[in-house]
A and B are shown apart, each in its own frame.
Chain A
Amino acid sequence: MKLVAPIVLVFATAAVASGVSSAHRLEFETALIMVAVVVALYVFVGNSGVISFGHMSFVAVGAYLAGLVTLDPETKGFTTPGLFQVLKHAQIGLVPSLALAAAIGAVYALVVGLPLMRLSGLPAGIATLAVLGITYNVLSYWGKVGPGVQTVTGVPEASVWALAVGVAIVVAAAYAYQRSRFGRVLRATREDPPAARASGISIYRERLIAFTLSGALAGLAGGLYVHMLGLLQPDLFYLDLTLVTLAMLVVGGVGSLWGAVIGALAISALNSFLGDAENTVDVGFHLTLPNGTRLVTVGAVMALVLILRPSGLTGGREFGWRRS
């Protein structure tokens, strides 16, 4: 049940997305991708209790790799002539590109995590933020790994059902992890670090495992993102996305997978409803909001939910009829 409910929600969102007009489909697809990104973030932040501002780095490398290896080599000759030869000539299918995205996310997270997982608390947060800063900076300027500050379009787009399957895989992996020995051990270190240590648990090792898995899922989510949008741009994967996904996680409830899914969908829904309302929406009467109210309201709602329900909408519980 705890796994079924989030998966059903994912496919329900996909079903709605496939039924609506193309302008609205983009909003539902974005919501799906946000579920994947937030769940990937949850695997580390939720289970370890350590905040990470750096996860969008893994989303970014996943998106860049998946995007570049599926672009037509001829186009790449014009748009990104400076790429590494391998990237420049490669053209592979959707599924292998997503596998590559997950792989590079995992490798990057492992490399970063090896030194950084020794830190905890605020220094850990700042160090991961520094990783994000470096990733953003390098992706913005290094011509061998991407188009730089320009936007590259023409990345093959996946169908909404393909995206939904990808998102469902992320959710299922997160669920499998938290049910596994590793997940339980990591949550034990979150609840009581000294007791966990006394029981012979290496906090460093458990966090590193979660960080790497989380990086793999974030990379996969990035790959899905780029195959949804069809374009690449470094600004997509920087502070805005970091803030929004962290807020989604906290609004939903940082302690549960269900919370991650609910938070991502709730904020996405609010965001797109208000976006529509800025161009007049029919809610019994014609509602037109001035431009800019979307961001203000989303910000205010995030702040309000945090104030009124600090443990999130789900209170950190998994889906279930009985409240324990």
Chain B
Amino acid sequence: MTINWGQAIADAIALGALYGLVAVGIGLVFGVLRLINFAYGELITCGGYVLAYTYGWPRPVSILLCIAAVVALALAQEFVAFRPLRRGGASAATMLVATFAVSFLLQAIYLLAFGSRGQIVGTLGKLNSAFTVDGVDIRWILLVIVATGLLLLGATATLLDRTEVGLHIRAAAADFRTSRILGVRANRVIVLSFVMSGVLAGAVSVLYTVQNPLVQPSMGVPITIFALVGVVVGGLERLWSAALGGFAVGFVYGLLADVLSSTSSVYLPSVVYGLVILVLLLRPAGLFRSWRAQQVERV
């Protein structure tokens, strides 16, 4: 079997870019709240359902509705579940399990409302067509994913680095209590980080469903797990290391999926998880942790 490396790399980049975006969405909220949101994937699922049910509407309307719905759900998670929990003084472990429970609840709601058989999204299906460069089929969606990914990452970075609100978020991420004492409006910062992570999740819904058009109640779970693995592998300290970690996991997964033969590719998850364990053992603070960062246990 000859391996078309160019093709494999092209496919892997698309997957990596998507997981990079998901990782940033998870990392944003983690940065401020020290909260890993296991229910993040259910935001993406929600966006998928909106796209499926608004199929046939003008595309921009459908996409805007999708993002609006996802942001609303992200805020609902914060206001209904996470904020009361923080008020109650829940421990980190309780918060983690609570996000698990929210994920479970949302999946159950999707199952009840939309059934288990799945809905097809066709909003941007045309982007699956390809053009050929040197024998490598490059689908338009790859370019769109990479462009959108870079754009959103750039926008997020600009917001965080260049604006006052961004400064507040970074301050809160560095030291939540001290930043409050210094006049950062904590709840505004938290709400904002949920909005931003919601926008990212909405964008991921739109891009993800182009390649995987079937929306099912539990489709968000593997996305969350892989992105989360990426976030931890990359390092939670900074957004760009989280993004790189997400990209790395998606890229390796995509590459191995193309390169491995079909008999051994069933063990692909094991290979990826094995690599993850190895990375965590060798560099518990993440692959891309900055050398200057002190060894501080944050969780």
Contact = CB atoms under 8 A, between A and B. Distances in A.
Q: Do A and B come from one complex?
A: yes
Interface of A: 45, 49, 51, 115-116, 118-123, 125-127, 129-131, 133-134, 137-138, 140-141, 239, 243, 246-247, 250, 254, 290-293, 295-296, 298-300, 302-303, 306-311
Contact of B297 (A45, A120, A306): A120
B274 interface: yes
B105 A126 contact: no
Given A51-B96, A292-B112, A299 B101 contact: yes
B90 interface: yes
If over half of B's interface residues share one DSSP class (helix, strand or loop), that class is named, otherwise mixed; here it is helix
A292 B270 contact: no
Most B Cβ at <10 Å: residue of A118, A141, A296, A308: A296
A9 B232 CA distance: 41
B101 to A, nearest CB: 4
Given A134-B269, A295-B108, A306-B101, A126 B229 contact: yes
Interface in B234-276: 236, 266-267, 269-270, 273-274, 276
Contacts of B104: 243, 247, 295, 298-299, 302
B280 interface: yes
Given A122-B232, A122-B236, A307-B84, A250 B270 contact: no
Nearest to B87: A307
B94 A310 contact: yes
A133 B270 CA distance: 7
Q: Which of A133, A246, A291 has the most CB of B within 10 A?
A: A133
B29 to A, nearest CB: 14
A250 B96 CA distance: 10
10 contacts: A122-B36, A122-B236, A123-B232, A292-B108, A295-B107, A295-B112, A299-B108, A302-B104, A306-B97, A309-B88
B153 to A, nearest CB: 23
Interface string B80-94: 010011001111011
A131 B270 CA distance: 9
B55 interface: no
Contacts of A243: 100-101, 103-104
Contacts of A306: 85, 90, 94, 97-98, 101
A134 B270 contact: yes
Contacts of A123: 232, 280, 284-285
B267 A130 contact: no
A310 B90 contact: yes
B111 interface: yes
Contact of A250 (B93, B109, B276): B93
A302 B273 contact: no
A119 B267 contact: no
B221 interface: yes
Interface in B108-128: 108-109, 111-112
Contacts of A125: 96
Nearest to B81: A303
A14 to B, nearest CB: 28
A59 to B, nearest CB: 17
B1 interface: no
B143 interface: no
B281 interface: yes
Contacts of B90: 306, 310
A254 B97 CA distance: 11
Contacts of A300: 105
A243 B101 CA distance: 7
B284 A119 contact: yes
Given A122-B299, A296-B108, A130 B236 contact: no
Contact of B277 (A120, A131, A293, A296): A131
B102 A254 contact: no
B77 to A, nearest CB: 10
A82 to B, nearest CB: 13
A126 to B, nearest CB: 4
Contact of A247 (B97, B228, B280): B97
Given A137-B267, A239-B221, A296 B109 contact: yes
B276 A126 contact: yes
Given A51-B93, A126-B228, A307 B88 contact: yes
A141 B260 CA distance: 16
B225 interface: yes
Nearest first, the 6 A-B pairs at minimum CB distance are: A299-B105, A295-B108, A292-B112, A310-B90, A121-B299, A130-B273
A67 to B, nearest CB: 22
A247 B100 contact: yes
B298 interface: yes
Given A126-B228, A296-B109, A303-B105, A246 B100 contact: yes
A146 to B, nearest CB: 14
Nearest to A305: B101
Nearest to A255: B91
A258 B295 CA distance: 37
A243 B97 CA distance: 8
B98 A303 contact: yes
B85 A137 contact: no
Nearest to A239: B221
